[in-house]
Structure 1
Amino acid sequence: MNDTRRAVLEAVADGPISGPDLAERLDISRNAVWKHVEALRDAGFEIESEEGGYLLGGVPEYGGPAVEFGLGAPFAVEYHDAIGSTNDRARELAAEGASDVVVLADEQTGSRGRLDREWSAPSGGVWASAVLRPDLPPAHAPALTLAAAVATTDAAREAGVPAEIKWPNDVLVSGANETAEGEATAETEETPDRGGRKLAGILTEMEGEAGRVSWVVVGVGVNANVSADDLPEGATSVREEVGDVDRRVFVQRLLERLDELRADPEATIDAWRDRSATLGQRVRVETATGEIVGEAVDVAVPGALVVETDEGERVRVHAGDCEHLRPV
């Protein structure tokens, strides 16, 4: 949504305001006012024409202009009813020089998760990828994954879902010592504990050179208004936990929180600790160089998991697959 159209929308939201008054306020022609009003109506905004002028009667349920209206963060939104992958489209926009643009879709038809794993992204979810150009050294870019996890968790909690974060990039609804089907199992340390049912995941991609970040794409996938039949095993959704959520508001809160945290790794780490499902757990982390087993005791800038092994050594893990282990 361009600045003039946004100004028209804000004016009619405070209306009623006449066409001539709006034209004078924005220094555009009355014909231009009419074209902007019609474009907003085409986008789903209910703009009424009363005796006193134009008045906003309703906001569309979802979509790019709907999310941008009232958004307290400097993001433009490119919306698609369906798209192969929001991350792929965001990478294209990043290569073209875009910044602070969010690709948002109702459905993804070719989505992927971390390590190119399959990711279900049916209609009704929140599938969003933000193009960022952070003023951070490449070594600190992983903090943006944690920032997105905190932002997603906070949006979910505002919707009533008791979400927590599993290192490094999963948002869960906790269920202690549950299998994927929710049944209790024997307490053996060799058995991984999912830590809960997966609500959301984050996929971050980056390009940089000569010690600087060129761009970062932060992809967030949330099972929002998705039914159980459309979810993979071990997953849950906002709908399953508390009922349908206003996705427009959910996305706005997520983006506003991400905007608050994206330039502050220290604040991100503090917030992540407070929302962690991993800290204090016995974990097994598969890394490129081997397996690390011990207690997850901390997370350090820019997002490394600190594991205290059985030998008393504290190891920082910067990347890997983390499993919670059941208590002995």
Structure 2
Amino acid sequence: MQETRERVLDALADGPVTGPELAERLDVSRAAVWKHVEALREEGFAVESGSDGYVIDAFPEFGGSAVEYGLDAPFEVEFHDSVPSTNARARDLAQAGADDVVVLADEQTGGRGRLDREWSSPSGGVWLSVLTRPAVPATHAPAYTLAAAVAVARAAREAGVDARIKWPNDVVVPGTDDDGAEVDRKLAGILTEMEGEADRVSWVIVGIGINANVDPDDLPSEADPATLRGEVGDVDRRLFTQRVLEEFDDLRGDLEAVVPAWREYATTLGKRVRVDTPGGEVVGDAVDVAFPGALVVDTGDERVTVTAGDCEHLRPVGE
């Protein structure tokens, strides 16, 4: 957010304040004050003007400036009502040299998940991509996927949802199927992309798609989805997005803390799993996750460390 715009917001939030007072405080012209006020109104801020001056009566439900204001993390937010893919837009920004930018959208029309699977992204969700340039080796990039999953799980739990993490990149809500067996209903998915050399990352993009204020019936039934609306009712997407970004920012600054935090919310650990990997199928008990994000599976004959693959939770042997 432009520095002067942010200072105007701060003043109006503490208002009322008159135009002349605001112009003097910010050392700008009264015309500049008026332009900033009108720009804020266009972005959805309810700026009221009375005899005692300007004051913000309400914040917009969503949007770039709305999320940036009060955000305790150093991200610039680029907002789109609709965009084909926030990750694709973030890649464009990465090629242009941007850093610490969040591409946020109300709707995606061409969202994709892992293995290029289609990801339904209707209006009302939280679809975002974080572009960052960490000074870490390329081998550490998977930790950012784990960090994003923890951030979403924590924000969802603060909202009252029993969110858990399924390896490698899903935030889920536990449920049962028609037979009474436990199933994971997907609340959010994460797609991390990276460019760089072996010893140094050039950039990392962490795409996060969250079924927020969306009806479960508006999502593909075969996905067995969960939504925040379906679990606890509509949430304040502005505040929810801020919490996700703040938690992610804290975790990216301390990657060694990511794996212990991930274990705390993991639903995969302790489960019997089947993992389809590039080298073949691995079946056994998921016993641990190792930095920067590998799943450790006990097959009964050996412990296999899986760095990438599709993971399916199986029913325990004998059921």
Which residue matches 1:217? 205
The AA in structure 1 aligned to 2:229 is R
Q: Distance in 1 between matches of 2:158 and 2:310?
A: 28
Which residue matches 2:23? 23
The sequence identity of aligned pairs, in percent, is 67
* SS of residue matched to 2:253: coil
1:277 equivalenced with 2:272 (yes/no): no
1:157 equivalenced with 2:157 (yes/no): yes
* CA deviation vs aligned residue, 1:151-198 (integer Å, no higher than 9, x gap): 1111111111101000010011012xx4xxx2116x8xxxxx7x4111
Normalised TM-score (structure 1) = 0.93
Normalised TM-score (structure 2) = 0.96
Contact 2:139 2:198 in 1 (8 A): no
Q: Distance in 1 between matches of 2:254 and 2:306?
A: 21
Cα distance, 1:52 vs. partner? Answer: 2.5
Which residue matches 1:136? 136
The AA in structure 1 aligned to 2:237 is R
Which residue matches 1:199? 187
The AA in structure 2 aligned to 1:238 is L
Which residue matches 2:279? 289
* CA deviation vs aligned residue, 1:221-249 (integer Å, no higher than 9, x gap): 01111112211221121111111111111
1:304 equivalenced with 2:294 (yes/no): yes
Which residue matches 2:95? 95
Cα distance, 1:51 vs. partner? Answer: 2.5
Which structure has more relative contact order (CA 8 Å, sep 6+)? It is 1
Alignment match of 1:228 (pick from 188, 198, 216): 216
Structure 1 unmatched ranges of 5 or more: 188-192
Cα distance, 1:210 vs. partner? Answer: 5.2
Q: Distance in 2 between matches of 1:209 and 1:24?
A: 50
Residues 1-10 or 23-32, more deviating: 23-32
Which residue matches 1:240? 230
Contact 1:200 1:223 in 2 (8 A): yes
Alignment match of 1:325 (pick from 301, 307, 314): 314
* CA deviation vs aligned residue, 1:260-309 (integer Å, no higher than 9, x gap): 00122221111100000001111111110111111111111101111112
Contact 1:134 1:263 in 2 (8 A): no
The AA in structure 2 aligned to 1:89 is R
Contact 2:22 2:33 in 1 (8 A): yes
Which residue matches 1:263? 253
Contact 1:309 1:315 in 2 (8 A): yes
Q: Distance in 1 between matches of 2:225 and 2:210?
A: 11
* SS of residue matched to 2:104: strand
Q: Distance in 2 between matches of 1:126 and 1:316?
A: 33
* SS of residue matched to 1:21: helix
The AA in structure 2 aligned to 1:219 is G
Contact 1:135 1:263 in 2 (8 A): no
Instruction: Give the CA RMSD over aligned residues.
Output: 1.3
Q: Distance in 1 between matches of 2:254 and 2:285?
A: 27
Which residue matches 2:179? 184
The AA in structure 1 aligned to 2:284 is G
Q: Distance in 1 between matches of 2:171 and 2:253?
A: 21
Residues 4-13 or 47-56, more deviating: 47-56
Which residue matches 1:32? 32
* SS of residue matched to 1:174: strand
Alignment match of 1:316 (pick from 305, 313, 319): 305
Contact 1:305 1:316 in 2 (8 A): yes
Q: Distance in 2 between matches of 1:104 and 1:32?
A: 28
Which residue matches 1:190? none
Q: How does 1:32-51 map to 2 (within 5 A)?
A: 32-51=32-51
1:76 equivalenced with 2:58 (yes/no): no
Residues 82-91 or 11-20, more deviating: 11-20
Contact 1:138 1:212 in 2 (8 A): yes
* CA deviation vs aligned residue, 1:103-145 (integer Å, no higher than 9, x gap): 1111111111101011111111110011111121111111000
1:57 equivalenced with 2:32 (yes/no): no
Cα distance, 1:38 vs. partner? Answer: 1.0
* SS of residue matched to 2:28: coil
Contact 1:203 1:220 in 2 (8 A): yes
